[in-house]
Amino acid sequence: MKEKFYYYTIEKPSVAEFKDRGSKFIAYAFPLSDTDIFKKHLQALKKEHPKAVHFCFAYRIGTDGNNFRTSDDGEPAGSAGKPILGQIDSKELSDVLVIVVRYFGGTLLGVPGLINAYKTTTALALQLTPNIQKPVTENYNLSFDYTRLNDVMLVLKKLKCTVLKSEVQLFCNMQVAMPKENAGQVIDKLHDLQNIEVTKMEG
């Protein structure tokens, strides 16, 4: 498998609506970085739509292809979650959550009708928000003397690294996300500064 240095996600949340034979489907697309945020979005929508009958969803997080989940939430198996995920994947997106809220209109749509409705609503929501390219990152721990702080920050800024956490005292500890594409270059430059310990964080 070819190594990935970039991935695509959505820039901001969006909402789209689709109706079929009285049933109303409302798709909410969100950028998503972890599963706790997903739970908050789901709870918020359940409060917002107390009379809706189904809250079907799919999300994909990360770039290794293993962190995803789908739910039909009481709809026939495979008629909701899978079509939602299918739309996320067809656009090659990651770090994305789509929840589709359904109000039942009294007429059964059948499995093909449901697949079409969930697929269409999701596609509409994903079309309404711009896609953005983000670098695949790897996390590292840095330990160094305070006197090196400015030099370290210059390297990180220049090579587009993100500081996730920092403890700045006489001795500094920092967690940094480095773009995978130039992580080697960042580490070399940090080692050039001397007395800087760089360790890769697992997971």
Task: Map out the domains of the chain with their CATH numbers.
Answer: 6-133 (3.30.230.30), 136-200 (3.30.70.240)
Strand duo 67-71 + 54-61: pairing: antiparallel
* Cβ density class 76-107: b for 16+ within 10 Å, e for less: eeebbbbbbbbbbeebebbbbbbbbbbeeeee
Alpha helices per DSSP H over the chain: 35-48, 81-90, 110-127, 149-158, 183-193
- Is the pLDDT score of 59 beyond 70? yes
Give the global pTM: 0.84
Please tell me the predicted confidence (pLDDT) of residue 184.
95
- Is the pLDDT score of 174 beyond 80? yes
- Is the pLDDT score of 38 beyond 60? yes
